[in-house]
Structure 1
């Protein structure tokens, strides 16, 4: 399991994030305070406060981490 901080500048940016991770077999959660949503669910992501950075927890399956890192790189908070 790995955790990263991600930030979405716009709704379109959040939607493109979901699109980038939707085909992976790994499990992704977005965590903001006490709230946890499925990061592969556009509806779930849209319920988050998109103005704030949130934690992305990845439970890797099938050795996908290298491809996942390439897919999420634009969304990782600096």
Structure 2
């Protein structure tokens, strides 16, 4: 499992993020505070507080390609 933090600051960011993560077979969760949602659910993402960084948990050890595609959203 890999963990990293992303910033999704606009509706287009959320749409692009969901389009990227839906290509992958493994589970990906987003955590904000005490809420955990499926990263492939656009409605779930909009239920989170998008003004703060969001923790991503990718339930796979082979997610290098995912990290490359999400690079613009990953908080440094």
Inter-partner Cα distance in structure 2 for 1:48 and 1:5: 14
Inter-partner Cα distance in structure 1 for 2:56 and 2:64: 16
By how many angstroms is 1:19 displaced?
0.6
By how many angstroms is 1:32 displaced?
0.8
Match of 1:31 in 2: 31
Aligned length: 76
Instruction: Please report the RMSD computed on the Cα atoms of aligned residues, expressed in angstroms.
Output: 1.2
Q: Which has the higher helix share?
A: 1
Alignment of 1:12-31 (within 5 A): 12-31=12-31
Unaligned runs of 5+ in 1: none
Relative to the length of structure 2, the TM-score reads 0.91
Unaligned runs of 5+ in 2: none
By how many angstroms is 1:69 displaced?
1.1
Inter-partner Cα distance in structure 2 for 1:37 and 1:20: 16
Partners of 1:11 and 1:50 within 8 A in 2: no
By how many angstroms is 1:59 displaced?
0.2
